[in-house]
Amino acid sequence: MSTVLEGQSERGTLRSPKPLGAVESAGRPSVVNDFSIHVATVNGSGSQSSNNILMRAIFQMGIPVSGKNLFPSNIQGLPTWFTIRASREGFIARRRDVGVLICMNPETAHEDVRTVAPGAAVVYAESLKLDTLRNDVHFYPVPFSKLVLELVSDGKLRRLVVNMICVGVAAWLLGIDREEIKKAVVKQFKGKEKAVEVNLKAIHGGFEWAEKNLTKADPFRLERMNATAGKIIIDGNAAAAIGSMMAGVSVVAWYPITPSSSLAESLIDYCRVHRVDPETGKPTFAIVQAEDEMAALGMVLGAGWAGARAMTSTSGPGISLMSEFTGLGYYAEIPAVIFNIQRVGPSTGLPTRTMQGDVTSTYYLSHGDARHILLFPGSVLECYTLAQEAFDLAERFQTPVFVMSDLDLGMNNWMSDPFPYPEKGLDRGKVLRSNEELAEHIRKFGEFARYKDVDGDAIPYRTLPGFSDNPAAAFFTRGSGHTERATYSERPDDYTRNMDRLAKKFETVKRYIPRPVVENGGAGIGLIAYGSSDFAVQEARGLLARKGVPTDYLRLRALPFTSDAAEFVASHERVYVVDQNRDGQMYDLLRLEAGNDSGKLRSIRHYDGFPLDAETVIEGVEAGEKI
């Protein structure tokens, strides 16, 4: 079971799905713009293009939509699922039940059919003979193998194009505008006229066959809305890449790992277009694929020490390998930005499933005493904005900063408002950039000492190597014990003075990091969540309110905690902390923060690798409140 409620004797339970809606033949109302389409195919079969076309066509009809890809960790041949959620209310979290199932994979077809709720629609290859499995769903057999032979002459393309026939059948079944389908195909295969022609022929063929041979009996359909005007669809990794480019990143060192690779790959593409000197044609950036994650962070720290804005992207296994270099960055006080696109662990775990399992390990990453700034984007828009903020914080506090995304937010498609162009300049922190600034610093404070707190905020000034030949500017950066002047020392008083200053600097951090988003309406029940959980929690709050259970909400956007968290807990009778991990990692950190009010906290945990859904949150709250 993936949902755990802790902090009292009763635990949450998962309930069987309720029927999705009555069939039209029974005189019941249709289900319009409020269901999920679940496409079951095989990895490497070309389904990504067909899935994106289906989702984009619905989006272009003005219907709020989101897409989630559940794929295997091999390259080709294993089952893959893509879920498109249409929601007239704008909910874009994962929905547990399935309204329309499209079965294109013989290996999983029987199990896929058994898992849908009564009343669902099932489109399938007629050779699978699935209509004998159940009598409470609506089956639509389609002769895909026969149709693809008729519609596609090129034998090599048939395996890839058969999914497009399915798009045509789904368009007929659900009422998707064929003109929007055409626009989506043109966008998907931009500049490839032959591909557009072949795929459109297959889609139209599927639509016309369905129109002539099938009779609609299910209640699910799509109707035009106007809820997506001006919106974009983008994944979190691409958004983070754009944010990093806007932040002025000039050095990227990375090692490929799912689910973070597409962040670096997107950044490469963007930089090749936007970060090239117009006069010389030469790149103004350096992106290096290192031999491993340790080397990647080592390169980033070297670049940060030299004055470049530098970053890497990785996931849990890479974070584990980066532990020692992270400690160096913390102790030697070198800026760096690390994107952690979290996946299921420990060890290799489930590489293509999502989790928020690295909160505790990343917060304290390194041997010895160390704590780090963690940022938790809750949307693709925040992947963009917090990427920029991460670079400012890293240089302001001369320390590694982690942006804690996850596979669901990073790799899946999300609807968003367009991203705003940055309005403020870069915050490079306390850097002495010229001989004049260095001379003024020495005049004011008597000397330049790399690790000396001269103005009470525990953040020392730094110079950049090579900017001056003044001997006063020279300094060492040490991962070993050091004095305020960066000279080697094993004296206890030097060590404790330095560690106490680092702790004080961490307190200063609280004045600069993004504060939580708080929605207080005087309810006795509070919810605390972070990251991609926000989508499901917001939906759950709306559904709970309809049941007469009002809730307040605090969405964490960063660690360390600001005073807002403890104040929120203190002002409520019970507070449910939503974690996407088994151990309730944020719940445990909050118990330390809440002090005497820690007994008010309850833990809702989701950790099966699927994205969090609203039903899980609702069940946790209802179990805790004994509703």
Q: Which residue has the tokens 């972070």?
A: 530
Q: Which residue has the tokens 């988003």?
A: 517
d(CA 546, CA 540) in angstroms, rounded, equals 10
d(CA 479, CA 475) in angstroms, rounded, equals 13
Kindly give the pairing relationship between strand 286-289 and strand 251-254: parallel
Domains of the chain (ranges plus CATH)?
Answer: 33-221 (3.40.920.10), 234-416 (3.40.50.970), 431-487 (no CATH), 517-625 (3.40.50.920)
Three-class secondary structure assignment of 129-188: CHHHCCCCCEEEEECHHHHHHHHCCCHHHHHHHHHHHHHHHHHHHHCCCHHHHHHHHHHH
**Phi first, then psi: what are they for 409, rounded to 5°?**
-75, -40
Q: How many CB atoms lie within 10 A of CB 418?
A: 10
CA atoms within 13 A on the CB side of 603: 23
**Phi first, then psi: what are they for 555, rounded to 5°?**
-105, 115
**What's the confidence (pLDDT) of residue 472?**
82
Residue 80's SS3 state is strand
Ranges of the chain with pLDDT below 50: 1-26
Give, rounded to a whole angstrom, the gap between the first and last alpha carbons of the chain: 20
d(CA 463, CA 101) in angstroms, rounded, equals 61
Give the amino acid at 147: L
Condensed to tens digits (0 to 9), the pLDDT of residues 408-454 reads: 999 999 999 999 999 999 999 999 989 999 999 999 999 999 999 99
Which string of DSSP letters, residue by residue, matches 175-205? T--HHHHHHHHHHHTTT-HHHHHHHHHHHHH
CA atoms within 13 A on the CB side of 196: 13
**What's the confidence (pLDDT) of residue 341?**
98
d(CA 34, CA 225) in angstroms, rounded, equals 12
d(CA 305, CA 462) in angstroms, rounded, equals 10
Q: Which residues pair with 575 in a beta bridge?
A: 526, 601
d(CA 85, CA 476) in angstroms, rounded, equals 55
Q: Which residue has the tokens 């289906």?
A: 54
Condensed to tens digits (0 to 9), the pLDDT of residues 590-621 reads: 999 999 999 999 999 999 999 999 999 999 99
- Whether the upstream peptide bond of residue 346 has omega within 30° of 0, thus cis, is yes
| Helix locations, 469-594, DSSP H | 492-509, 533-546, 563-570, 585-594
Three-class secondary structure assignment of 368-422: CCCCCEEECCCCHHHHHHHHHHHHHHHHHHCCEEEEEEEHHHHHCEEEECCCCCC
Tell how far CA 581 is from the center of its chain.
15
pTM (2 d.p.)? 0.93
